[in-house]
Amino acid sequence: MSVKKYKPVTPGQRNKVISAFDDITCHTPHKALLEPLKRTGGRNNTGQMTMRYIGGGHKKMYRIVDFRRDKDTCAATVLTIEYDPNRSARIALVEYEDGEKRYIIAPNGLKVGQKIASGSGVAPDLGNALPLAEIPVGTLVHNIELRPGQGAAMARSAGTFAQLAAREGNYAVLRLPSGETRMVLVACRATVGTVSNPEHNLESYGKAGRSRHLGRRPRNRGVVMNPHDHPMGGGEGRASGGHPRSRKGLPAKGYKTRNPKATSNKFIIERRKK
């Protein structure tokens, strides 16, 4: 996997850096695992805009991805590595020994023809999903469950991973991509390896049109609005806007919004790095 940088022969190609897509092995998705994806344009059922800066974009279908990895009876073979327009990571189409096909989040380094498995008792190899109780300490993992059987909730985007730092009784200590250290039940499953497409953070759109193709409309800053539109608006000339805050007046840049009585506080050993 690599990125492709363009020469500035046109204004839109200046500073444009995109994925080379050299890891993609198939350009046609598996039709049985597709679902229509309705776009709202940021409007509710009465047509009122409830989310700003959303609209347009290319039509796309949703790929049904298996985040549970709960088919433990048989191994699977990787058929293809595919692009998914709904996420930053690549997805892999796998076929189980009984003929069933599923999409999974492709780990970095997964190859076509490779065998993967899931469940208790499988080897902690790349792409295998197993309980945290059976993964060696120090292993890099992704697609981590927060509750057993819930399905992967953490470390799912491109290039991310968590490290299994320790095990204490019924809990495993994980160092998450944000820098947070927290405890997760050892019965929860995780997939060995890191998520594919690690160069995703190097990409640069190069022009506004690429954002529009993704369904993102222009976003204007609060300091350029009028006082009745935003707390940071108004003033003579190019005023700085005062204290950084949201449109609703909630302070930004350092103001803690986490509920001090959140039930998950007891599982967090160390908060994320600023």
What's the pLDDT tens digit per position in 32-53?
999 999 999 999 999 999 999 9
How many Cα neighbours within 13 Å face the side chain of 92?
A: 27
Q: What is the DSSP letter of 242?
A: S
Class of domain 220-266: few secondary structures
**Residue 119: φ, ψ to 5°:** 110, 175
pLDDT reading at 274 higher than 90: no
Question: Is it the case that residue 74 has pLDDT exceeding 90?
Answer: yes
Q: What is the reported pLDDT for 272? A: 87
What would the two tokens of residue 161 be?
A: 């991973």
pLDDT at 262 over 90: yes
CB count within 10 Å of CB 61 equals: 14
Q: How far apart are CA 254 and CA 245, in angstroms?
A: 11
pLDDT digits (tens, 9 = 90+) for 193-205: 999 999 999 999 9
Cα separation, 115 vs 138, in Å, equals 23
Spell out the domain ranges in the chain: 3-201, 220-266
For residue 101, report the phi and psi dihedrals to the nearest 5 degrees: -115, 140
Residue 91, SS3? Answer: strand
User: CA 64, 217, 22: angle at the middle one, nearest 5?
Assistant: 50
Name the architecture of domain 3-201: Beta Barrel (2.40)
Please write down the HEC assignment for all residues of 24-80.
CCCCCCCHHHEEECCCCCCECCCCCECCCCECCCCCCEEECECCCCCCCCCCEEEEE
Q: Where are the alpha helices (DSSP H) in the chain?
A: 208-213
**For the segment 139-187, what is each residue's pLDDT rounded down to a tens digit?**
999 999 999 999 999 999 999 999 999 999 999 999 999 999 999 999 9
Q: Tell me if 3-201 shares its fold with 220-266.
A: no
pLDDT for res 273:
77
